[in-house]
């Protein structure tokens, strides 16, 4: 299985209302230190969204709790709205640590 397939599989398993850092995804995909590559893959997500067969790339954030990028319509504001809609809480512009998977 390729690195990209492993990354998309990890991200597909992040439950609603939870987030994971780019570096956490890279580690679980077997390539610690490949967090930038994870970001690139999220920007190229072939199946964005939630539900069966989808890859919820909006749930991948920076390890400091800030949002990071979002190439979907609406940019970072849309990413934040999606996460808040799933119940993820923010404090001082960053995701509360309790919401990290």
What are 9-21's pLDDT values in tens digits? 999 999 999 999 9
Q: 35-43 vs 3-12: helix axis angle to the nearest 10?
A: 80
Q: Which residues of the chain have pLDDT under 50?
A: none
Give the residue among 34, 92, 51 at the shortest CA–CA distance from 7.
Answer: 34
State pLDDT tens for residues 77-90.
Answer: 999 999 999 999 99
Residue 8 a catalytic site member: no
Fold of 3-99: Arc Repressor Mutant, subunit A (1.10.10)
Give the residue among 2, 42, 50, 1 at the shortest CA–CA distance from 22.
Answer: 42
β-pairing, 60-61 vs 90-91, is: unpaired
Domain boundaries of the chain, sorted by first residue: 3-99
pTM of the model: 0.95
Q: One of 10, 41, 57, 88 is an active-site residue; which one? A: 57
Q: What is the pLDDT of residue 54?
A: 96
DSSP string for residues in 1-58: --HHHHHHHHHHTSPTT-BEEHHHHHHHTT-TT-HHHHHHHHHT-SSBSSSTT-B-GG
């Amino acid at each position: 299985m390729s690195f990209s397939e492993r990354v998309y599989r990890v991200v597909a398993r992040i439950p609603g209302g939870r987030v994971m850092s780019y570096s956490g995804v890279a580690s679980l995909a077997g390539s610690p230190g490949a967090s930038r590559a994870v970001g690139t893959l999220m920007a190229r997500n072939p199946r964005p969204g939630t539900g069966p067969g989808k890859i919820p790339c909006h749930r991948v954030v920076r390890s400091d709790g800030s949002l990071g990028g979002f190439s979907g319509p609406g940019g970072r504001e849309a990413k934040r709205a999606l996460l808040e809609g799933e119940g993820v809480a923010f404090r001082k512009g960053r995701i509360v640590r309790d919401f990290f998977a």
